[in-house]
Structure 1
Amino acid sequence: MKLFKIFSMAALFTAVSMVAVAQTKTETFKVSGNCGMCKSKIEKTAKAAGATEASWDEDTKNLTITYASS
């Protein structure tokens, strides 16, 4: 019975830590640019730097990125 409790606690801690690792954050930044080619380069650079998603709006000049918060 003691062994069952130990395994249950280990499983619980593992599950909790996996949830913490899977969390993502989204941030928005002002980035200057003028054209569709700029959009492509800005988004590609953000992804190369570690963003899982990157979207730049040419009208507002806002770059919205999503990344793993760990």
Structure 2
Amino acid sequence: MKVTLNGESVQLPEHITFVSDVLKHYNIHEKIVVVEVNGKILSRLEHENTRLADNDRIEIVHFVGGG
């Protein structure tokens, strides 16, 4: 499926169905993230059951520590 991820058009592998699958694919599933799909901010619980579709707009923000 083709989606816009953080402003870039990407082709996701066929096995990706849910937001949680995207997070696992990019190896950020264990980080604290904020995910927005088509303008709606999702709670962490919604990551597992929010199904993605072609042309969805996904924004993922994760926090980076530093000093």
Same fold (TM over 0.5): no
The structure with the largest strand share of the pair is 2
Instruction: Determine which structure has more spread, i.e. the larger CA radius of gyration.
Output: 1
Q: Name the structure, 1 or 2, with higher relative contact order (CA <8 Å, separation 6+).
A: 2
Higher helix share: 1
Superposition TM-score tier, normalisation by shorter sequence: 0.3 to 0.5
With structure 2 as the length reference, what TM-score do the two structures score?
Answer: 0.32
Q: TM-score, normalised by structure 1?
A: 0.31
